[in-house]
């Protein structure tokens, strides 16, 4: 496990691009169908764009039709934390990176097997690392 990351908002602002800062630290949402990682199907890992923690794998990615990268589960229990989100008059479950607290997206109970869950994640919250590069 990585240590928990405790950066000031100023540190985050300096470390992240403006659009990533907005999503990760201000709980923003990228417009549907705009994410760079939406159509990634190559084997590999999706890391937190804030701290580099391994969060998701292509093996668990599926085309949800929502316009955001979607996964049936995280790489391991505990890497993604869930919080109730009552913003915008809805009751949703927000997901955040357990290491840096960065906002990832939401999880919904309408996903496919094997979990029945749909982790709906902003591309801006993630960095994709193709499996090939891990061997290099
Ligand atoms: Zn993180």
Collapsed DSSP state (helix, strand, coil) of residue 54? strand
For residues 105-126, average pLDDT: 97
pLDDT tens, position by position, 79-104 = 999 999 999 899 999 999 999 999 99
Q: Across all residues in the chain, what is the average pLDDT?
A: 94
Q: Which pLDDT value is given to residue 135?
A: 57
Q: What is the rounded distance in angstroms from the CA atom of residue 36 to the CA atom of residue 17?
A: 15
Q: Which domains does the chain have, with CATH numbers?
A: 9-135 (2.170.150.20)
Q: Which pLDDT value is given to residue 4?
A: 72
According to DSSP, residue 26 is labeled H
CA of 34 to the centre of ligand 1 (A): 21
Continuous segment of H or E residues that includes residue 46: strand 44-48
CA of 50 to the centre of ligand 1 (A): 5
Residue 120: active-site member: yes
CA of 95 to the centre of ligand 1 (A): 11
pLDDT tens, position by position, 59-84 = 999 999 999 999 999 999 999 999 99
Q: Which pLDDT value is given to residue 1?
A: 41
């Amino acid at each position: 496990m990585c240590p928990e990351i405790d950066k000031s908002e100023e540190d985050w602002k300096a470390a992240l691009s403006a659009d990533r800062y907005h999503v990760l630290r201000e709980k923003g949402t990228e417009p549907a169908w705009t994410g760079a990682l939406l159509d990634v199907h190559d084997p590999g890992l999706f890391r937190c764009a804030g701290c580099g923690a391994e969060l998701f794998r292509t093996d668990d990615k599926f085309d949800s039709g929502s316009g955001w990268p979607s996964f049936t589960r995280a790489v391991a229990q505990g890497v993604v934390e869930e919080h109730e989100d009552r913003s915008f008059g809805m009751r949703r479950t927000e997901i955040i990176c357990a290491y840096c607290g960065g906002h990832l997206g939401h999880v919904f109970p309408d996903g496919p097997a094997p979990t029945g869950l749909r982790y709906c994640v902003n591309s801006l919250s993630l960095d994709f690392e193709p499996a090939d590069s891990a061997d290099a």
